[in-house]
Structure 1
Amino acid sequence: MNPRIRVAVGGVTGWAGSELARGVAHAPDMQLVAGLSRGAAGQPLAQLTGHADTPGVAAASIDVLAQTPCDVYVEYTKPAVAKHNILQALRHGAHVVVGTSGLSDQDYAEIDAAAHQAGRGVLACGNFAITVVLLQKFAEMAARHLDQWEIIDYAKAGKVDAPSGTVRELAYRLGQVRQPELTVPLDKVNGPVETRGASLSGTQVHAVRLPGYQLGVEVIFGADGQRLHLRHEAGDGSRPYVSGALLAIRKVHTLRGVVRGLDRVMEGL
Structure 2
Amino acid sequence: MAEIIAAVAASHAPGLTGWFSKATEEDQRTVRQAYGEIRETLAAARADVVLVIGNDHVANARLNDYPDFTFGLAERHRGPDEWFKPWLRVPDYDLPGAPEIATRLLDALAPKGQRLRGATDNLRFDDNLSVPATLTGLADLDLAVIPILQNCTVPPVPDQDACYGFGQALGTAIREELPAGLRVALLGSGGLSHEPGGPRYLEIDEKFDRWWLDLLVEGDHERVLAEATFERMEQAGSGGTSELLSWLVVMGAIGPRPCESLGYVAFDQWRCGVGAVRWDLAPAATGRV
Query: Normalising to structure 2: TM-score of the pair?
Result: 0.29
Which of the two has higher C-alpha Rg?
1
Query: Which one has more relative contact order, counting CA pairs under 8 Å at least 6 apart?
Result: 2
Query: Normalising to structure 1: TM-score of the pair?
Result: 0.30
Structure with greater proportional helix content: 2
